[in-house]
Structure 1
Amino acid sequence: MRLLILPILASAALVHPAQAKKSSIGGLYNISVAGFTVGRGSLSLVLQGNAYSAKVGLEPAGIGTLLTTGKGGAEASGWLVGSKVVPSRYQMASHAANRDFYVALKQGSGHIRGMEVTPQFKPNKERIKVTSRHRQNAMDPLSAALMPVRSAKQALGPEACKRKLPVFDGWTRFDIKLSYKGTKDVSGNGYDGKVVICKAQWVPVAGHRPSKDSVKYMAKASMETWLAPMGRDNVLIPYRISIDTKTGRLVVQASKLKISGSGSDRASR
């Protein structure tokens, strides 16, 4: 369960730090499979003007402590330019199945400019090779969780889901295609208000082996995400993510949120 988009334009759009509006969110997420808690995640996200910085952590919980000792975290930063996310840096480190995993991506102008990845995939003739073309117009997994819209009026409607997220995690390149399903009122856990419900589809692009059962399954799996404003009505983040797996429904849902900033009066508690 690995965590689980133009510098010149960004510079031109920057607000002086002393005048920039600031929004922040701190949250805890419960991770369950087939109704059983297996892990907990933490999120810290700050928007200062057009700049963002995000940090997540993951550790076992519930029956997950009996199944794995894996834990990890990731950090990302970059810029919001209109309805686009333009990452600049991403780093992930985790330990699972007695192995260490590490990814560091340098990004710019919406592309992956450089990377350091451990471990590397073993050679396999079937695996679709990741080329420089696949690292163009791509972003890291954590930055993909930020979903800005052009105006606050569009935030809680179909426009929020009208997007394709081109993600590169260091090993594989894939797309997450979102489509609008509806809205829902939620209450508690630090957020009271509407969420936008988007259907999601995982589309493998490169780095995968097409014949693997897990790849075929994920490409057909039912996925959904609920999006909520993150203290700024024109920027949304996942409130809940759910994916069908062979062992049951995987759900990542906010259990505690603290939201502050412009546009968050109705959301913070």
Structure 2
Amino acid sequence: MVLRVRSVLALVAAVALAPVSAGTAEIRHVSEYDISLGVLPIAKASFASEFGSSDYKISGTFRSSGLVDIITRISAQTTVSGRKRGDRLEAQRYNLVYRNGKRTRIYDVTYRNGNVTETTVKPEARRPENWVPVTERDLQAVLDPLSGLVFPADAKVCPSRLPIYDGESRMDLVLTPKGTRQFSTKGFKGEAIVCDIRYVPKSGYRQGRSDIEFLRKTSMEVWFAKAQPVNVYAPVYARIPTRMGQVYVTAVRYGN
């Protein structure tokens, strides 16, 4: 796949919102997603969310399938935990274990009041000369890639800009409303809010990289549906362009 799996994972993960009544003890809920390149299945994902009265945790797994496994096996396990702050979810710790064939890399990020206080990557990656380094300023007032795409019902669903940091790269997602669409899957049937999303790399990437330049010049589309019991909007569908074709992320289960 030309598009990095971490980028796809960031979009898929936000779909994993569990319906849970406010003020109850934490409740665990599992959602499942299919990922395809055009009509060809390439991956599956499963996510579980736990929401309490003031805190939350999202855990997920991702694994390649179909034609991708012929080339290399790709898998990932990811978690984020944090607290609910008004109209947003504020991460405290984000972790990703990413495996490509026999290679494994672990990303661990600690946040405080929306700012990154520590990042650990094992093993550390070698940086080419044309690498754009992440600065201290880049790590202020940022969102993690999992809960960054979850919006409480009283927040704007397509905000103008989402500053995302995933442990390696710092990017902006620029959102524009595109109306509504009907969406139906196991556990949900109703209206979804459609957002056009443009990817703007800021730092933590190799300058001139072909897939980065391709994404910079095009746009993605994400549909957000309301999870009624927890009163938030989260993605149920995403269309992500790559140089090999369109990648589609579809919730095959959303809610009960």
- Mark the runs of 5 or more structure 1 residues left unpaired by the alignment: 5-17, 152-158, 260-267
Report the counterpart of residue 99 of structure 1 in structure 2: 103
1:146 to 143, 150, 154: 150
Cα displacement (A) at 1:141: 1.1
The Cα offsets for residues 65-122 of structure 1, whole Å up to 9 and x where unpaired, read as 3232121110001122222221111111021043101011111100111121123332
List 4+ stretches of structure 1 deviating above 6 A.
none
Report the counterpart of residue 83 of structure 2 in structure 1: 79
Q: Does 1:113 find its partner at 2:129?
A: no
2:200 to 199, 203, 206: 203
Q: Does 1:236 find its partner at 2:240?
A: no
1:123 to 124, 127, 133: 127
Does the 8 Å CA contact 1:165/1:175 hold for their aligned counterparts? yes
| Aligned equivalents of 1:50, 1:130: Cα separation in 2 | 31
Does the 8 Å CA contact 2:144/2:165 hold for their aligned counterparts? yes
C-alpha change, 1:110 and 1:122, in structure 2 (3 Å) is same
The Cα offsets for residues 179-209 of structure 1, whole Å up to 9 and x where unpaired, read as 1101111223221111111100111011123
Does the 8 Å CA contact 2:223/2:237 hold for their aligned counterparts? yes
| Aligned equivalents of 1:175, 1:232: Cα separation in 2 | 30
Aligned residues: 239
| Aligned equivalents of 1:119, 1:82: Cα separation in 2 | 37
1:219 to 206, 216, 220: 216
C-alpha change, 1:232 and 1:178, in structure 2 (3 Å) is farther
Q: What TM-score, normalized by structure 2, do the two folds share? A: 0.86
| Aligned equivalents of 1:233, 1:47: Cα separation in 2 | 9
- Mark the runs of 5 or more structure 2 residues left unpaired by the alignment: 11-21
Does the 8 Å CA contact 1:221/1:243 hold for their aligned counterparts? no
Cα displacement (A) at 1:21: 7.2
Does the 8 Å CA contact 1:25/1:230 hold for their aligned counterparts? no
Worse-matched range after superposition: 58-67 or 81-90? 58-67
Report the counterpart of residue 47 of structure 1 in structure 2: 51
Cα displacement (A) at 1:22: 5.9
RMSD: 2.0
In our comparison, the structure showing a higher alpha carbon Rg is 1
Q: Residues 181-196 of structure 1: matches in 2 within 5 Å?
A: 181-196=178-193
